[in-house]
Amino acid sequence: MHRLLPLLLLAACTAGPPQGNAPYQPTPGMETELRELQRLRPQPYAGVTLDDARRQPRLLDAARAIYNVRGEPFPDQPAPQYQLVQAEGVTGPLTGWLYKPKDPKNVPLIVLFAGGGFATPDLDAAGLIAGTLAQRTGDVVIAVGMRPAPGARFPATHADALAVLEWARKSARSWGANPARIVLAGEGTGALLALTTAIAARDGRAAMPSHLVLITPMAAPPAPNAWARARPRLRADVRWDLRQYVGGSIPADARVDPLHLADLRGLPPVTMVLAEGDPLRPDAEALLDRLRASGVPAQARYYPGTSAEFFALGQQLPEAEGAESFVADQLRTPAPRR
């Protein structure tokens, strides 16, 4: 078991290091992963074809490459039971992985939307996160891969996410889960989908989820002053991906900019994970402030020296292990009375 590093629990929005071109100092383990990723030679999305953008290496690929060089198996953490499922989207099935603890009985159901981007969704990392959460919480967890842009154009993915919520609710009992205790979760763009789906549910389009887990979330289109030297998620790549989804200029719409345009009142409790080296972090911190000002119970933890995509690497990074434990603990804690 890794020794957990000291972590900062955010009691309010906490200013991070300077933005712009200021670098940050990754932890030793994080630096090892980032160096291995550079050996895999990732390219900016705007400079390659769409198919090549989807094949670009990610941090999880780098972690697996390190073990491959050592001749060791990658230490995945699957739940005791898992299976491929077909979730119901608006226009057809969506690929998902269902993770179940042994003999679940009326446990919560976590619906995890894959992150990685609207045009470059990453079900691989989402599946690893889902398995870990199932193991740590004892809940049933389903990770769902969304239809990629530009084939799925705005707001198609948002509509699919709402359809997945309703499908999961109808299917919950057959998995040993409680349809009245559904958690929406996601990483990056997946967290954006979780948040906006909860907003749609609050507005009467579905039954409300009981909790939101937002891992290094996208809260708004990254601003020009977003952290330019963040790794491995690049500000330019995030904006390129979002344009693939919206079809050009980014609209002033609460579904892609809930930080500035959405009414956040009446949402369920929120658990948020923040990484220092994430260009989306300033907006995520601002979202945390807005949630709390809107009366939403929101807990967050900030992990210095980490990058976007770090959360899936709990077997490699003590910071990621700590983040996984934090989320699991929050999900096991009874929600405060509103």
Residue with tokens 């990610």: 58
pLDDT of residue 16: 42
pLDDT digits (tens, 9 = 90+) for 152-195: 999 999 999 999 999 999 999 999 999 999 999 999 999 999 99
Do residues 241 and 119 touch, judged by C-beta distance below 8 A? yes
Residue with tokens 């039971």: 81
Do residues 126 and 170 touch, judged by C-beta distance below 8 A? no
CATH number of 24-330, picked from 3.80.10.10, 3.40.50.1820, 2.40.10.330, 3.40.50.150: 3.40.50.1820
pLDDT of residue 15: 38
- Token code pair at residue 256: 């892609």
User: Residue 183 belongs to what H/E stretch?
Assistant: strand 177-187
Residue with tokens 């709990």: 314
Q: Partners of 270 in the beta sheet?
A: 212, 298
Q: Backbone dihedral region of 213: left (phi > 0), alpha (psi from -120 to 50 degrees) or beta?
A: beta
User: Residue 99 belongs to what H/E stretch?
Assistant: strand 93-100
Strand order in the sheet with 298-307: 8-10, 298-307, 270-277, 211-215, 177-187, 107-113, 140-144, 93-100, 81-88
Residues 6+ apart with CB under 8 A from 55: none
How far is residue 250's CA from residue 29's CA, in Å, rounded to a whole number? Answer: 36
pLDDT of residue 11: 33
How far is residue 172's CA from residue 119's CA, in Å, rounded to a whole number? Answer: 29
The pTM for the full model equals: 0.92
How many other C-beta atoms are found inside a 10 Å radius of the C-beta of residue 283? Answer: 22
How far is residue 269's CA from residue 286's CA, in Å, rounded to a whole number? Answer: 17
Of 232, 231, 335, 218, nearest to 285 by C-alpha is: 218
Per-domain residue ranges for the chain? 24-330
Q: Which residues of the chain have pLDDT under 50?
A: 1-20
Helices (H), the chain: 28-39, 50-54, 59-70, 123-137, 156-171, 189-200, 235-246, 258-261, 281-293, 318-332
Dihedral angle, C-alpha 66, 69, 73, 74, nearest 10 °: 10
Burial class (CB in 10 A: 0-12, 13-18, 19+), 118: buried
pLDDT of residue 225: 64
pLDDT of residue 232: 80
Residues 6+ apart with CB under 8 A from 15: 285
pLDDT of residue 230: 72
CA angle 79, 83, 86 (to 5 degrees): 135
